[in-house]
Structure 1
Amino acid sequence: MSEFLIFQSLWAMQDHRGQCELPLQAQLEKIAAAGYDGITDHFWNARYAASLHTAAKACGLQIEGQVFPRSVDDLAAALDVACRHGCHHLTLQADIRPRTLAQAIKLIEGWQRLAEQVDFPILLETHRYRLTSDLLFTLDLLEEIPDLKLLADLSHYVVGRELPEPGAAEDDEQIRTLLRHSWGFHGRVSNGEQVQVPLSFPQHRPWLERFLGWWRYGIEDWLARAERPDSLSFTCELGPPPYAITGSEGRDISDRWAEALLLKDLMREVWGECQARP
């Protein structure tokens, strides 16, 4: 039977100063006690990856590794580290901004060849200021490379393209196209002007409902195409400032940890609804 795993981002554990008062082990213990299945963090530095693996294993948590390759060789080096310890999957924030599809395709095909050599999925994240920065460019990539596996962070395209609410049919269909190629999700809610809005504020409810609808569609589509048994991941990634909106003192205007727990519970409900359908 397929599993739905919810991870917590260690980046999201940072406060408004970019720090976390808890040491790594205590952070992971807190995350595990809150009912998460794993954590998301950088996973290419050999020493840090080893310590993260040991600490996560002690808490029964899986790892979504993040890497930021600029070349095929960059990913090869990161895989050398990741394969020593294993992970649920590896997410690529491709730190390069090609001007043409041909340049992007050549690089992606090199990464795909490497992905065939490991026993965990490698997913290309949709993210601003990365290879996938532009929604339409990414859609064109999918036409050329239909087997490309994405990690969908939809917040970047909502704010990057200033999508309106209520939405246009064309915009929603473009997002659904991405979701039909997605094998994992990073979760935050944005609007057309801000990359991360507080989930609990009533004025943001329409956007929360819209994102939940997108994620529901993505889960249903994944269930229809995934091999059994398999597992799908969703990372609660409510980042610190400047992602988080701050007040005059530079502090968050909402409790991100509480909102991450809310998002976790909402997504477990969505998964349950999807599982219950024929």
Structure 2
Amino acid sequence: MKLQVFKSLWEWDGNWQGKLEMIAEAGYNGVEYTPPVQAKEDATFRRALTSHQLEYIAQVVTRGPDHFTSFREQVLRVAELGPVLINAHSAADRMTLEQQLEFFSAALRLEEEVGVPIAHETHRGRAFFTPWQTAAVLRSLPELKLGADFSHWCASCESMPSLHDEDVILSMQRAIHIHGRVGYPEGPQVADPRAPEYAEHVNTFIALWLTICQNRFTAGAKSMTFTPEFGPPPYLQVQPFTQQPVTDLWEVNTWMFHTFQKHYQDWMSSKNNENHT
């Protein structure tokens, strides 16, 4: 199973012009973000990705009051850009379980229609804002897939996700895409994952991510997609008064890329050794 690492354009608010060569040279397999603001730029964006040999993970962000109509319009648009995956901020936390099940049932039918895998992200403000709400939907819809960004649950639950929690376990079983951001019990993004005081948090998240990889490997997946997704302010902490960022975002995401890549390679080596014994 191959690890494919994508660069989020969130760092530059979606601006891709002048960035793709740097992303390709840094070793990323592709980019992840919503499509260009202007639909007329879609073809230019797709050609630029192809010229740099970069794949695309499309993001869609549903909006009310009719979340499904919003979802459908965006999915149909991004499907034309040839994404390997669509990662969706889906529905809303205030919707009832019945309303969420209606939304996700329709989303599964649309996924089949467009023929592109759709991962619904675990995200604050969305349907999957806690492990238990996520699990309630997943248990009713066994075909539904997740984009795992468990850092949001750190903020929603004021605690670290546990490898032993039955709802987290179910979410890891359904995850097909990983957002590589490390949270802490009071927020979705540690100040700098390289700092020794966050080593325990980093190790917890890497264990969660490798469990997802194991589940995908067992399911026979050919690849695992991973996007380091430390974001800009206000996710990234800033100094009081000066508002200067406490760290360099490109460096942090590059560190997360290489750190998880090393853990993944070690894990795959252990799997290969098991197969030869």
TM over 0.5: yes
Q: What aligned pairs does 1:189-268 form with structure 2 within 5 A after superposition? A: 189-197=182-190, 198-227=192-221, 230-248=222-240, 249-268=242-261
Instruction: State whether residues 29 and 55 of structure 2, in contact with CA within 8 Å, keep that contact through their aligned partners in structure 1.
Output: yes
Q: Offset of 1:93 from its aligned partner?
A: 0.3
- Map 1:15-164 onto structure 2 (within 5 A): 24-43=16-35, 46-70=39-63, 71-163=67-159
2:227 match: secondary structure: strand
Separation in 1 of the partners of 2:244 and 2:45? 28
1:8 equivalent in structure 2 = 7
User: How many Å apart are 1:194 and its aligned residue?
Assistant: 2.1
Cα pair 1:89 1:120 within 8 Å, conserved: yes
Distance 2:42 2:266 in 1: 36
How far apart are residue 259 of structure 1 and its match? 1.4
Name which of structure 1's ranges 120-129 and 173-182 shifts more when overlaid on structure 2. Answer: 173-182
Q: TM-score, normalised by structure 1?
A: 0.88
Are the counterparts in 2 of residues 125 and 151 from structure 1 also a CA contact under 8 Å?
Answer: yes
1:112–1:169 Cα change, 3 Å? closer
Give the secondary-structure state (helix, strand or coil) at the position aligned to 2:262: helix
Whole-Å separation in 1 of the counterparts to 2:6 and 2:94: 31
Percent identity among equivalent residues?
26
Shift of 1:57: 1.4
- The alpha-carbon deviation at position 170 of structure 1 amounts to 4.9
Instruction: Select which of 185, 188, 194 maps to 2:181.
Output: 188
Q: Which runs of 5+ in 1 are unaligned?
A: 15-19
Q: CA-atom RMSD, angstroms?
A: 2.0
Unaligned ranges ≥5, structure 2: none
Q: Is the 8 A contact 1:98 1:104 kept in 2?
A: no
Distance 1:48 1:13 in 2: 17
TM-score with structure 2 length normalisation?
A: 0.89
